Structure 1
Amino acid sequence: MKRTAFALTLAALPFAATTVQAEEDDSAFVEANVIGIFYHELAHALIDIEEVPIFGQEEDAADVFSILMIHALFEEDVAQELAYEAAWGFIGEAQMREGGTDDIAWWDTHGPDEQRFYNTICIFYGANPEARADFAAEFELPEERADYCPIEYEQAEGSWGAVLDELAERGGGDSIQFQGTPDSFSGEVIAAEVAALNEQITLSAPLTVVEESCGEANAFYDPETREVIFCSEFEEHLVEMEGQL
């Protein structure tokens, strides 16, 4: 997938590396959601390693970072495709829950999937309203919310943009290391993102991104080991979810 320059407050930084191209139609859903989940967990890592102040729920901040990176790193047609599939991922989680998998955990630090769905659409739309009017319409984003989405994007860009600027000013390096299974599709996707990021940014401390079996479909950041763990079971979970959408 073609990348473009950061569209935040960063200087022009062309990302020449490409993500893994899905060979089958249903793999596009898996690929987009793996990318979205990876950047969500990377946000948790940055909050810890770079000591980013968060006012509100950290999970909300991580969701915002994820969709901002999709907006910033990819050319418009690809960004819309990724955002489209990632948004459907939240609907997929909600549908699986309604199918008896789980009730809403109101006590959880994550917001309800339906709300995360609309937040994702709103910020992505607000970043480029003229080009993404059809995108918002397809997801039936209410006008009363859409009117404020450019403001929501500006707030998000103002917060995370400064963090990304600082990382980019340090230049590229190898502060993010990936450990995973070479023949795993999700591993290939994540490895491509890590390689591209290392060309442009450097973190204050090393971060390891690990793909491994966890016995469950999950992804999380461990601040004690400074590792982003992407459970290999998540790929099968996404395939199952795509089949139910």
Structure 2
Amino acid sequence: MTRFAAIFAMILALASPARALDDDVAGYVESNLLAIFYHELGHALIDLMGLPVFGQEEDAADVLSVVLIDAFFEEEAAVQIAYDTAFGFYDDAQQYEPIFWGVHGPDLQRYYTLVCLFYGANPDERADVADELGLPGERAETCEEEFDLAADSWGSVLDELAAGPAQRTDLVLEIDTRNELDVFTAEVMQAEMDALAEDFALPGDLLVAIAPCGEANAFYDPSEALILMCTELTEYLANAAP
């Protein structure tokens, strides 16, 4: 069973308000929650490990998310997550004007970068992905090199974590559950954190909290080594899924 299938099966097996979500909606929400969590994990690693960042830190975190999707999941699951995450960026691009003064790149640029890197990781098998998601041929020519650079850059960091001491650092989960969507988020995060704890030794405790934020978002707080997954985010994704 793939990692994605194992996590999803675990969620569906729980007695669960999560069953209130249609399976297709649940899959879309889970894909985006994982990709966003990996992005925030990128910020956490940069902070906890004192990593240098040459360029925008948000771009580096986006790149790690794609690298982990490619590394953690078998092909069918990885492709599904890539599609769902790309649609998440595309949906945001349709709803919001780009904020050119912000720290994040415009959503459409993030969309194409995700598609390019994911295609570049396995161009022989992902040409259909690039075609269906509209990656221009001119960009596609450089995607394999772009992914190789991303994998080399983040790979040394992940190798260091994987070679850590046998006494793994636990990831801690704090939950402020309000409704069935919050429970679903908690189940996704707990399953993913359990999987991460088996693979990596982090340089310090990393707290993951699920709580209201007043907006559909997620954040990393370096003052507390805390990844905050906003409850509003899951609701936003569930509404966007159709």
Q: Is the structural similarity TM-score above 0.5?
A: yes
- Structure with greater proportional helix content: 2
User: Secondary structure at 1:199's aligned position in 2?
Assistant: helix
Corresponding letter in the other structure for 1:147: E
User: Secondary structure at 2:8's aligned position in 1?
Assistant: coil
Partner of 2:50: 51
What is the rounded CA distance, in whole Å, between the counterparts of 1:175 and 1:56 in structure 2?
31
What is the rounded CA distance, in whole Å, between the counterparts of 1:171 and 1:89 in structure 2?
37
Partner of 2:81: 82
Q: How many residues align?
A: 226
User: Secondary structure at 1:202's aligned position in 2?
Assistant: coil
Q: Does the CA-based 8 Å contact 2:66-2:117 persist in structure 1?
A: yes
Corresponding letter in the other structure for 1:178: L
What is the rounded CA distance, in whole Å, between the counterparts of 2:220 and 2:70 in structure 1?
23
What is the rounded CA distance, in whole Å, between the counterparts of 2:225 and 2:186 in structure 1?
18
What is the rounded CA distance, in whole Å, between the counterparts of 2:165 and 2:34 in structure 1?
22
Partner of 2:6: 18
Partner of 2:2: 2
How far apart are residue 171 of structure 1 and its match? 4.9
Corresponding letter in the other structure for 2:224: T
How far apart are residue 181 of structure 1 and its match? 5.1
Q: Does the CA-based 8 Å contact 1:33-1:89 persist in structure 2?
A: yes
Using the size of structure 2 for normalisation, the TM-score is 0.89
Q: Runs of 4 or more off by more than 3 Å in structure 1?
A: none
What is the rounded CA distance, in whole Å, between the counterparts of 2:122 and 2:165 in structure 1?
27
Partner of 2:19: none
How far apart are residue 223 of structure 1 and its match? 0.3
> In the TM superposition, what are the counterparts of 1:155-234 in structure 2 within 5 Å?
155-171=149-165, 173-180=168-175, 184-234=183-233
Partner of 1:93: 92
Q: Does the CA-based 8 Å contact 1:96-1:241 persist in structure 2?
A: no
What is the rounded CA distance, in whole Å, between the counterparts of 1:214 and 1:3 in structure 2?
29
Q: Percent identity?
A: 46
Partner of 2:17: none
Partner of 1:137: 131
What is the rounded CA distance, in whole Å, between the counterparts of 2:239 and 2:176 in structure 1?
21
Of 24-33 and 222-231, more deviation after overlay is shown by 24-33
Q: Which runs of 5+ in 1 are unaligned?
A: 5-16, 98-102
